[in-house]
Every structure is written in structure tokens, then in C-alpha cells.
Structure 1
Amino acid sequence: MLNKLHDRYPGSQLQFQKPDFSFNSDMYWFHHEESGQWLGIPAQEVSADSLMVLKTLFEFHDSSIHHAPAAQAWFQYLFSNGEHPSFAKDVPYRLIQFKMSEGEWIREDMEAAFRGFFEKDITILWNGEATGVIIEESNDSLAEEEFLAVSNALESDFFVKTAFYIGIPNKAGTHLHNLFKEEQLLFEQASSLLPAERVLNFERLFPSLITGNLDAFLKKSLLSRLSLLEEDPELLHTIKVFLQNSSNVSLTAKKLYIHRNTLQYRLDKFTEKTGIQLKDFNSALTVYLACLLIEQT
């Protein structure tokens, strides 16, 4: 049956191997279990009525990532080296990459949820089954801390974990395209260096990149200087959270769900055993890099 459909749709692809959906971004895929065949049909060639019928006959995989012309123009610009969209405004745009865990969620529902968090209209591009980019004008953009609330809401409502990488705002043009390519690589590295983080940007990732690329001598020197943190996971976590919260005792105690006196005891314990004063900027930076390195090893 798929052979006949293949003849009917000139732009279709027929194969026995399961397709890589991320490289077929404008196709509807249908699988015939008995024959093992896969048929990919360009989305623009399938009418709504035909799609409904085909869904009832075959296992359906929606790889047609974009339909709206505006979204397609952005997709060609960012992922296929196309010209920057002619309709783009002369304002900075911020590109927010996202990666979600797989599940039973529906793409349309997820897009509706995304749009509900943004005051202004956004463009959503998909470059995979669970990965994509949100494009927003950087004027009155969503605050970075609000993305954690978005991630928590998506997990609560859809049971899906979502990580975001917030890009640097820039006007549409060659520089934005090149910057996005760099940010794609950074997001990939972030997934391995900081897998538990839900909201990332360059500043949050950069210290981990430094520790991840230290040579063997510097790694050994840093770890030997702060071996106490390797031996005491609780102290390691305490010091890291303390430094991440600008050395604010009250805020850190609240984040760790402990009393201020308990936190102060742990900080004094660290200073007593290492001789390092965390109020000193260079010392604090060194200790923070050590915390990241220990977590990576």
C-alpha cells in the first residue's frame, strides 16, 4: 500500500530503515508494521483530510516541524544558512534553545504552554522531536529566573523535564546566525557538564567550561589544595550554594533549608581546615572552580 502512496506523492521517500526525524524536518512519516516500510511525505503535499485518513491506516510520526511561512523563514536562516528573514524588525532578538525529555506530550499543547508564559508573540522552531528554539524580541523579554518557573510548570503539567539555554540578544543578520551556531555547541556541552541545570546561559556555563578544559597539572593542583571538599559531599554542596548566592548567609540557609547557625558552623569549619577566606574574591573563585571540578570527576 505504501508503494502506491509513494507513486501518488512525487516528493515522498520510501525506505525500510527508520528515518532520522531530525534530518527530515518538513515530512510526515508513516510506518507500515507488516511490511516494515516507512514513507515520508512532504507536509505541504498532504491535505488535512488526507492526513486524517492516513493517520488511521498507519503509525504516524510528525516530523513536519514548520508550517507557517514566517517560522520556515527563520528556520532556513538559522539551520540552513538561508538569508535573514526580510520581515525581521530592526531590534535585537533573543534565541532560547530548549531540550525536553521524551514523553506522551503533544507538540501543539507544548507550544500553547510556551506562549502562555510570554507577554509578547514568539516564534517557536523545532529542529528535533523534543528540541527547538524560541525566538523573541529582547525588549521586555522574559526574565532569566522566570524560565525556572516555566520548567517547573512544564514538569508539573506535562511530566516532562525541560532545559533552556538563553542566548545573547542581537539583531538579525550574519552575526546573529554565527552566534547561534556557537550557542548550539555551548548548549550541547552544557548537557554533559551540567545535566541537572534547567536554565543556562553563557555566564552560568563558562566556569564549568574552564574546569572541564583544565590540563592535568592544574586539575591535580586544584584538587589537592581542596581535598576536604572531595571528602565531605555535604560541605561541598554547602560551599557551592553559598558562593552561587553571592555569599549571602540568609539566602543560602533558606536555599539549603538549614538554620543560619548551622550554615555558619560549616563555613567556619571550611575556613579553619583550609585557611581560605571566602570573602576574598580570588579565593572564592578558586574554591568555586574546585567545586565544579569535583562534581565533574
Structure 2
Amino acid sequence: MSDRGFIGVFDSGVGGLSVWREIARQLPHEDIIYLADQAHVPYGSRQLTEVRELSIGITRFLLGEGAKIIVIACNTASAAALRYLRRVFPDVPFVGMEPAVKPAVEQSSNGVVGVIATLATFQGELFASLVERYAGDTRVLTQVCPGLVEAVEAGALDTPKTEALLRECLTPLIEAGVDQLVLGCTHYPFLRPVIERVVGARVAVIDPAPAVARQAMRVLARRGLEADPSTGPGRRRGRAGSHVFYTSGDAAAFAGMIEWLLPSTGGDAKVRAVRWQEGCLETRV
């Protein structure tokens, strides 16, 4: 890993890999560690206080491994814990997820936009503040979509059951006339082809992951923490930064999901197992 540290990224499961993908694309010289807390997936069905405590434990683990910045690649954890983490770790730069309400409102031609996310995301202060700040006269319709996170975790991206779940979730928004659809959970971009098939060409689907990667880039630049492309063990002779993945679940299964969801890794993803022990994460031997 780089002597300046690495980018730490975490989510409850594989969903945050959609954010990892964008960070790796936009910041190819950076070393990245991704942690999937699959022992507790999904976060969306858990109490906000529990998600906050899990996020603290993960942050401590990533900092102990040498993280220079933490990207919370989970809308639920961002809603539950982002402000709290910034208070607990005031010297650590954090980048969180937020539903892309602002661009959806700006791009809407009929003043009706939809957001799909977990209940925990909608219950957080962050979402309410975004709507209050940016919605104006635009109607922002929300829809909870039970079962989608579990479908992605199981690898059921384009199955009749998953499409049925999406149709049930999205039909009220389609009938209400939304012309912008915000993906408010990092698992959902992996369902984008099916989502676009269900909503049709009249509805633009917005994935916030590219904007999150750009924000991480800005924060690193502002703090002078960018990796030097010419140095570091993972970048000799112009090679890209190194990538390591951790999971609190089944390491072999997670490696298989990475290979499937992120073919760019070439099946060579380094996956290590961690476990929870009295509120702390530790590597499994």
C-alpha cells in the first residue's frame, strides 16, 4: 500500500462495489481497501443506532490498516452515521452517499422525480434536508423496495423474481409520471439494466456513484493526500494502485461475487476474512 495511505471504502455487502468501481476508474493510481460487512447485511432493516456502532467499528479497523480517507459506500450508513463519525474522528476525511435529489430536480422536465432507497435512508435527517434544500416546487416521490438488496447479494440480478420485485416497487412511481429516478442504494446500480427495462426510455436513471468518486478526488486534492503515480509498491512501472477486499462473511463467496460484478479485476481480487469480536473487527487467520 501507498506510504500516504489508502482509500477505505465500506458497505454492508456487495452494493458498495458500484462505488468502488467508480473510484478505481477515476483514481487509478490510488490504493483501495474495500470492506463488506456481510455478517450484518442488509443495514437497511437495522436500527440506526446499530448501524452507527457498526460504522464506528469498521472505521476503526480501516484507520488501523492505514486509511487516509473513508468513503461510506452505503446510503443507510451515511444517513445513520456520517455526521456522528465526523464528530468521533474529527481529523479523518469522510465522503458519504446521498440520494441525488439535486441533479434529479435540475434535470426534471415535468417536476416529478422518484427516489428508491431503504426505509432507513428515508428516515435519516440527510434525505429530509436534501429535499428541503433542493426540491422547491418539484414533487419528490419515495419508494422503499424490500428484497432488492438481498437479490443483489444473492447474485440474482436479472431473474423473473427480481424483475417482479422491481415492477412492484416502481409501478407507483411510473404511474405518478416521474421522469427522473434516483438510485438511493448502492446495491441498485447492479440492477440498472432491469430497472431501465421496467421504467422505459422516458425515465432517466441517476446513479450517484460517479459524483461520490469525484468528491473523494476533491477531498484528497484539498488535503494533499493524492497518491503519487510514480511511486508506491502497486505502481512501479506505471501500474495501477493495489486493491484489497475484506468481508465479515464468506470470503470465497465474496471473491466469486467480485469476479462476476467487477470483471475488470480479472478474477484476481485479494479477499481476506474479518470477524467481529466485542464490537471490533479483527482479521481471521
TM-score in terms of structure 1 length: 0.26
- Higher-RCO chain (CA-CA 8 Å, sequence separation at least 6): 2
TM-score in terms of structure 2 length: 0.26
Query: Whose helix fraction is larger, Structure 1's or Structure 2's?
Result: 1
